[in-house]
Amino acid sequence: MTERWTPHATVAAVVYQDNKFLMVEEISDGQRVINQPAGHIEKDEAILDAVVRESIEETGWNVKPEQLVGLYTYTAPANGVTYHRYCVSATPIAAVPDARLDDGIIGPRWMTIEELRDCPNLRSQMVLTCVEDFLAGKRFPLDVIVEHP
């Protein structure tokens, strides 16, 4: 039997306010890393709902998805898994009182583009690519994402 290749569908939020990006400091493979609020889309979950859920679970911030920044693929050298990422820009609404963050999350960090460019421990190259694309003005209306029930 031929092995079936299945990419992992994920979302990431680029949340920008006051010249800073909302990031997540987390533990991945035993290392402290910086990522966007991001994660897997769950079974029967809409893509934009996943963006909101992951933002709350990883940063404690409720966000409003605004535009699609881009679609990205990345094959992680550590495990050989290919990730397909829907990167969405989002506006921060408010911190969620008493939000319970996912296991492995240290907490949210607001970082400037300079801090991100100088950061030696980004979770993957997609982190900076998504932010740079956002700053370059790459945006598409959310209705380009079509999900059939």
Per-residue pLDDT of the chain (149 residues; tens, 9 = 90+): 677 888 899 999 999 999 999 999 999 889 999 999 999 999 999 999 999 999 999 999 999 999 999 999 999 888 889 999 999 999 999 999 888 999 999 999 999 999 999 999 999 889 999 999 999 999 999 999 999 87
Spell out the domains of the chain, with CATH numbers in brackets. 8-140 (3.90.79.10)
pTM equals 0.92
Where do we find the tokens 């306010």? 17
Q: Is the dihedral of CA 132, 77, 121, 65 positive or negative?
A: positive
Ordered DSSP codes for 56-73: HHHHSEEEEEEEEEEEEE
Would you give the DSSP letter of residue 84?
Answer: E
Q: Is the dihedral of CA 59, 61, 65, 67 positive or negative?
A: negative
Cα–Cα distance measured from residue 147 to residue 122, given in angstroms and rounded to the nearest whole number? 31
State both tokens at 137. 């003005």
